[in-house]
Structure 1
Amino acid sequence: MKITEFLSPDAVIGSLDAREKKDVLEELCRPLAARNPQYTAERLREVLEDREKLGSTGIGEGVAIPHGKLPGLPALTGTFGRSVEGVDFEAIDGKPTHLFFALFAPENSAGIHLKALARISRLFKNAQLRNAILKASDEREIFRLIADEDAKY
C-alpha cells in the first residue's frame, strides 16, 4: 500500500488558516467534501471529532493523524495539511502540531485502515521529511516530498 493510493495532490493544503483544533479538522475535510458531494465538511469533521473524543490523534513530533470510518465511502481517502505556525492539538508530547494527515476509511475496513495509519505514522517519524515539508514552497512540493519518501518503502 502506498500513500499516493489514497492521497492526491488536490487534497494537500499548504497553509492551514485554522488556529483551533475543531477548525483544523473542518479545514482538512473540505477537499474531501468537494470531491465527495454526499458528505459535507461538517459531517466529515464530526467523524474526526468522534475519534478525538477517545484521545488525541496528535502523535507528537508535530504530527497528527486524525481518522475515522464512513459508511458508504468506497475507498480509503485522505487529506494533508500544514500549519507552519502550529496548532495546539493536544498532542501526546504537549508540543504544537504542524503536520496533519486526515484519513477516512470505509466503515468495514479495519485491516486496510490500520495498515494505512501505520504507514503514515512510519513515514512521518522521519525528521528530515517533516522539516522538508515545513520548508516546502507549495502544495505540489509537499505532495512530491511525501510521494518520494513513500516510494522508498
Structure 2
Amino acid sequence: MDLSRILKPEAVKVIANVTSKKRLFQELGEVGHSIYAFPANEAVDALQERESLGPTGVGHGVALPHARLRGLDSVVGVFLRLDRRLDFDSVDRQPVDLVFALFAPIDSGVEHLKALALVSRTMRDAKICEKLRANDDPATLHAVLTELQPARAA
C-alpha cells in the first residue's frame, strides 16, 4: 500500500480561514464529496463521531481524522494544509496546520488500519512536515506526500 493509491492529487488543498474543528470537518467532507463522491454530511457526522471517542490530533501540528463510510470501495484520503493553525485538542495541546483525513469502507478492517499506520508514519517524519509547511502548491504537496512511499512502507 502506498499513499499515491489513497490520495488523489486533486484531494490536496491549501485552506485559509478555518476557524473551528467543525468547519474543518465540513471542508474535509466537501473535498471528499467533490473528489470521491461520498455524501459530505455523512462524512462530517462520521468524523465528529470518531472525534468524540478521542482527539485525532497526534501532535507536532498534525491531525489524522478518520472515519468509516458506506459506499466506499477502498480507503481514500484528503490532505489539507491550513494557512493558520487551528486549535484541535491535540495530545500535545498544540494547534494543527497539517490535516490528513482518511475515509474507509465500513467493513475495511485491516486495510483501514494499514492505511492509518502508513499515514501516521509519513506524518511523523519531521522533514516531510517541514516540506509540507514550506509549500503552497497542491501539486507539490501531493508529490511530497507520495514520493518514496514503498521504501518508507517497508
TM-score normalised by L of structure 1: 0.93
Match of 2:92 in 1: 93
Residue 121 of structure 2 corresponds to residue 110 of structure 1: no
- Partners of 1:67 and 1:102 within 8 A in 2: yes
* Bigger mean CA deviation after superposition, 5-14 or 143-152: 143-152
Deviations 1:28-77 (A, max 9, x none): 1212111344x332221111000000000000011111001112211111
CA distance in 1 between counterparts of 2:150 and 2:84 reads 28
Match of 2:47 in 1: 48
CA distance in 1 between counterparts of 2:3 and 2:64 reads 13
List 4+ stretches of structure 1 deviating above 2 A.
149-152
- Partners of 1:89 and 1:97 within 8 A in 2: yes
1:88 maps to amino acid:
D
2:7 maps to amino acid:
L
CA distance in 2 between counterparts of 1:16 and 1:5 reads 27
- Partners of 1:66 and 1:103 within 8 A in 2: yes
CA distance in 1 between counterparts of 2:4 and 2:14 reads 17
Percent identical among aligned pairs is 34
Unaligned runs of 5+ in 1: none
Residue 151 of structure 1: how far off its partner (Å): 4.4
Alignment of structure 1 residues 1-16 onto 2, 5 Å = 1-16=1-16
Instruction: State the aligned residue count.
Output: 152
Match of 2:118 in 1: 119
2:17 maps to amino acid:
D
Match of 2:141 in 1: 142
Provide the secondary structure at the position in 2 that maps to 1:31. Answer: helix
Match of 1:33 in 2: 33
Unaligned runs of 5+ in 2: none
Residue 149 of structure 1: how far off its partner (Å): 4.5
Provide the secondary structure at the position in 1 that maps to 2:15. Answer: coil
* Bigger mean CA deviation after superposition, 51-60 or 6-15: 6-15
Root-mean-square deviation over aligned CA pairs: 1.3
Provide the secondary structure at the position in 2 that maps to 1:53. Answer: helix
* Bigger mean CA deviation after superposition, 16-25 or 47-56: 16-25
